[in-house]
Amino acid sequence: MIKELHKKLQSKQITSMQLTKQYLDSIEEKDGEIHGYLNVLKDRALKNAQEVDEKIGKGGDLELLEGVPCAIKDNMCIAGTKTTAASKILENYVAPYDATVIEKLNQKGAVYLGKTNLDEFAMGSSTENSAFGVTKNPYDNERVAGGSSGGSAAAVGGNMAVWALGSDTGGSTRQPASFCGVVGFKPTYGRVSRNGLIAMASSYDQIGPITKTVEDAAIVFDAICGKDEKDNTTVEKEDASFVENLKPDLKGKKIGLVKEFFGNGLDGRVEKVVKEMLEKAEKNGAELVELEMPMLKHSLAIYYLMMPSEVSSNLARLDGIRYGLNESKKSKSILDVYLKSRKAGFGDESKRRIILGTYVLSSGYYDAYYKKAQSVRELVKEEFADAFEKVDVLVSPTSPTPAFKIGEKAQDPLEMYLTDVYTVSANVGMIPAISIPAGVVVEAGKKLPVGLQLMGKWWDEQNMLNVAAGFEQL
């Protein structure tokens, strides 16, 4: 999709202005209902589009992403624009600098249509935790778009952006992508700089593309990855292009079927769609290898201990003094400012995780919980390392169910957490993972997309993307 648009732009079949206006019109027409965007950057987008058109007019060569309109999850900083993380506490926060991914995209000439909705601070699986209202699924407006990057997935799935950025701490690019019928990709931890991404859980967060195709994901990935001196967890790697080396490939590939991921709790219709894909892959030369990975069942527990701990520490900076909402006029003391600002600024789920995390990290409990979870995390990594001795990629459904109804799980945090059961392992193991559309289930006359997840070896995104592109062709 991006390559085609690029060719049309370069050969002057369309202008970036026309393309951008077309997407802005689509937002105008549909987003009142879907609510994928928190903030549409119309003037900026049109200005950037015009600059690209001027460049083409002068005979300039365009980068692949140049002049192509996209959307950015509202937890990434774009200098001079509001960056709310869908929280009241940052409702009026204007980013003073560009996130590293934005700096990189600026150099590539990307056109930002706007900032998209998310669960507050990226905590959730349905975008129902946004302080500014839920995002609806473009396939069925009574259902969630998934989360936490629900706005980005709905924007791409609903044709309100060509591509988008999401962030993925426990599945937040992949699960909403699977609910909205698009591709969601989480790179290896350390591939993409987190500088300028509002931190959720620092040892889990990774920014990733949400796109229509695997090729588009590779194009965006090329643009945003790389070592950044502003994020010490990023790693220097050879800079071969993922899109140039992308070749759909299933022949002779060993695909590991994680046995534990096809058991209890998996919706039979989702299982059927995924299994049918796997049969087709087999017919096209892939070899299916069933694997037992008993450590993976601990991933959810590890994640829901470590993640809130890191959240409680990261969100401590939001105290009413340094950023955002400040309730000092209603307060009598400095402590009162903290308490009142945080009470009014954070939503229920954020408070829940701050409390959980603070408890886990408190003296006397730290060793029993955080440290223990950290040790078990290492065992999960070892299990992945063993698995990737035997297979090229691992496969599973992305989510145990298709998109659920708005309100269906909102009252029960535990049930909501269980929707992450297949996605969190990749974040615990720090490996790359991708969700691609695998088919649909039909419910009450509506088509609901189902995603298939592939997980790859550390730094071996290329192999995983090639297999993903192979599946896509099926």
List residues near ligand GLN by CB under 6 A.
Answer: 122-125, 147-148, 168-172, 200, 307, 420
Euclidean distance between CA atoms 191 and 195, whole angstroms: 12
Please name which of 161, 166, 212 lies closest in space to residue 26, comparing C-alpha atoms.
Answer: 161
Please name which of 128, 145, 142, 95 lies closest in space to residue 324, comparing C-alpha atoms.
Answer: 95
Catalytic hit among 16, 125, 126, 148: 148
Least separation in angstroms between residue 167's CB and ligand GLN is 6
Q: Which is nearer to ligand GLN, 169 or 211 (CB)?
A: 169
The CB density around residue 365, as the number of other CB atoms within 10 Å, is 13
Q: In the numeric block, which tokens belong to residue 63?
A: 């980068």
Q: Which is nearer to ligand GLN, 125 or 135 (CB)?
A: 125
Residue written as token pair 């599945």: 171
Check if 47 is active-site. Answer: no
Least separation in angstroms between residue 52's CB and ligand GLN is 32
Least separation in angstroms between residue 6's CB and ligand GLN is 30
Catalytic hit among 73, 88, 212, 409: 73
Q: In the numeric block, which tokens belong to residue 86?
A: 């869908």
Q: Which is nearer to ligand GLN, 177 or 200 (CB)?
A: 200
Least separation in angstroms between residue 339's CB and ligand GLN is 25
Q: Which is nearer to ligand GLN, 320 or 347 (CB)?
A: 347
Residue written as token pair 């965006």: 220
Q: Which is nearer to ligand GLN, 129 or 213 (CB)?
A: 129
Least separation in angstroms between residue 87's CB and ligand GLN is 14
Cβ proximity of 451 and 437 under 8 Å: yes
Please name which of 343, 437, 348 lies closest in space to residue 399, comparing C-alpha atoms.
Answer: 437
Please name which of 424, 456, 466 lies closest in space to residue 188, comparing C-alpha atoms.
Answer: 456
Least separation in angstroms between residue 467's CB and ligand GLN is 23
Check if 362 is active-site. Answer: no
Check if 148 is active-site. Answer: yes
Burial (CB count <10 Å: 0-12, 13-18, 19+), residue 442? exposed
Three-class SS state of 196? coil
Q: Which is nearer to ligand GLN, 112 or 303 (CB)?
A: 303
Q: Which long-range contacts (CB under 8 A, 24 or more apart) does 359-368 make?
A: 360/305, 360/308, 360/309, 360/312, 361/309, 361/312, 361/313
**Catalytic residue numbers, as ranges:** 73, 148, 172
